[in-house]
Structure 1
Amino acid sequence: MVADPLRLDAFIPFRLSVTSNLVSETIASTYQALFGLTIPEWRLIAVIAEDEGTTQQQVGRRTRMDKVTVSRATIALVERGLVERRPHSSDRRSQSLHLTKSGRDLYAAIAPKALELERRIFADFAPEDVVAFSAMLLRVQQATLAVRDEA
């Protein structure tokens, strides 16, 4: 018996990746135009806003961004005066990241725009479909981590 051929348009990981890239590109163009931020920079600001004092390593784990991307975003935001590094209270090799007043102000301006973009993307979906989709994404993430850990 011959296995079914791989067809990218029917291959869920491919479709998920393409959709994710499309959403990210749409958001990135908005953030770039309005605030001069890249997606990694915005993600870093958002993570710090939620978890003040986080480290670059923790940001990488949470966002799945690689070390170089997190480092470059951190450097850019420190240079712009939006993020500051402070000595980490329990790990001398690490630094904690904090938003400056300008960083907090920028986050306060961007967060409503992010929620508006999300609302616009999902405007034609029933609320219960959005809840189910969000739950499914979490399940896919957990299943993927389990498969990766098996390898």
Structure 2
Amino acid sequence: MTFQLDQFLPYRLSVAATQVSRRFAARYAAEAGLTIPEWRVLAHLGQSGAVSVRDVTARVALDKSIVSRAASRLEKAGYVRKSSHGKDQRLVALELTEAGRELMARLGKIAETFQAELLAELGADGPAFRRALLQLSKATAP
């Protein structure tokens, strides 16, 4: 049997993830002019509260330098506040400002609508697909 890239599950997952991410990115870019890394940082901070850049990096699957640059742009835009981390002064803590929380409230509605549309596209396969993604995430978690 010859290897078929289009039938290779990791490749198909990667392509699908990129396509879905770009579709969603177009929406939050239109709403707020954000990049994918900026969206990921905001979304994580919206759920976690104040955390270190290291924590954000681990959660959003981006390199530290990309997270740091995104955080700096978000800080300049007034959405994120940087401070020294309480327990370790070498770490930078990030948290949403009031403007950042207001933006996340708007973007959260856009995200919920987008997710509902994706699930509608999947139809009856949606619940099984979600379970499969969770299973794969558990299997690969460190």
Q: 1:83, 1:109 → 2: CA distance?
A: 16
1:35 aligns with 2:13: no
Q: Percent identity?
A: 37
Partners in 1 of 2:68 and 2:80 — Cα distance?
Answer: 12
Does residue 1:54 correspond to 2:51, yes or no?
yes
**In structure 2, C-alpha distance between the alignment counterparts of 1:25 and 1:81, rounded to whole Å:** 25
Aligned residues: 142
Query: Displacement of 1:61 after TM fit?
Result: 0.8
- In the other structure, the counterpart of 1:149 is none
User: Does 1:142 find its partner at 2:138?
Assistant: yes
Counterpart of 1:19 (choices 1, 13, 16) is 16
TM-score where L is the length of structure 2: 0.93
1:121 and 2:109 aligned: no
Residue 112 (str. 1) matches residue 118 (str. 2): no
Q: What is the rounded CA distance, in whole Å, between the counterparts of 1:27 and 1:86 in structure 2?
A: 30
Q: Does 1:100 align with 2:97?
A: yes
Compare 17-26 and 88-97 and name the one that shifted more: 88-97
Structure 2 unaligned blocks of 5 or more = none
* Letter paired with 1:118: Q
- Aligned residue identity for 2:136: V
Q: Which amino acid aligns with 2:53?
A: Q
Deviations, residues 99-148 of structure 1 (Å, cap 9, x unaligned): 11110110011100011011111114346x433322211221232346xx
Aligned residue for 1:125, secondary structure, equals helix
Distance 1:39 1:95, change over 3 A: same
